[in-house]
Amino acid sequence: MGRNLSSPLLSSIASNHICPAFLAVITFRSSTQYIWTGVGNLSYGGNVYRGVGAFGKMGAIAEGTQVEAQGTSVTLSGIDPALLSDCMTDIQVGASAVLYFALLDTAAMTVLGTAYPCFSGRVDQPVLDIGLDTLSITLKLESRLSNLQRANLRRYTSADQQLYYPGDTGFNFVELLNDIALKWS
C-alpha cells in the first residue's frame, strides 16, 4: 500500500543517517497532551511536545489486509504514586489519540518534513501497575474500526435528529411511515 510521505521524510529514509521518533497527541479531561519519545522539548506543528525518554513506551502498531480493529498502547512509567487519583480522574475513555512517526534533524532538533500519522484511535481502559515507589499507567488505544462491532444506538426519528441537528425537518414524516400500508404491485 502506498504512503503519502513527504519528500524530506523520504530522502531522510533513503540516507544512512536517520533519527526516528514517535510523537503522540492524547486528549485528557483537563487538556490535550503532546509527548514524544525523546528527551527535552520538541516544537512541531505549533505545539510543544514534552519528551518522556526512557519513561515512555509504545506498543506495536499492526496493519492487516483484513477489515479488523487493531489497537496499540502507550505506557508512561515513573509516576509518583501520590498522583494516582489525579491520573485516574484525568483519563477520559473514548478521547482521541493520534500517534505519529517522524524523523529528526538532530543538530537543529526539528522534524524533517511532515510527521506520518501511523495510528489514530480512541483511548480505552487504562491498566495500572502500582509499585512501592513508582506508578506505571498503560493506556490501551483502540482503532476506530472497533466501532463496527458496537450496536448503533441512533434512532432515525425526528426527535433523534433534533438532538444532533436542531431545526432540521428531514425526519418529520418518518413516524407516519409506520401507519401507512403500502401495496407493491
Contact yes or no for 12/103 (Cβ under 8 A): yes
Report pLDDT digits (tens) over 70-113. 778 888 888 777 777 777 788 888 888 999 988 888 777 888 88
47 φ, ψ to 5°?
-120, 155
pTM summary value: 0.70
Helix, strand, or coil here: 95?
A: coil
Report pLDDT digits (tens) over 2-23. 567 677 767 766 666 678 889 9
Sequence-separated (6 or more) residues with CB below 8 Å from residue 28: 90, 91, 92, 95
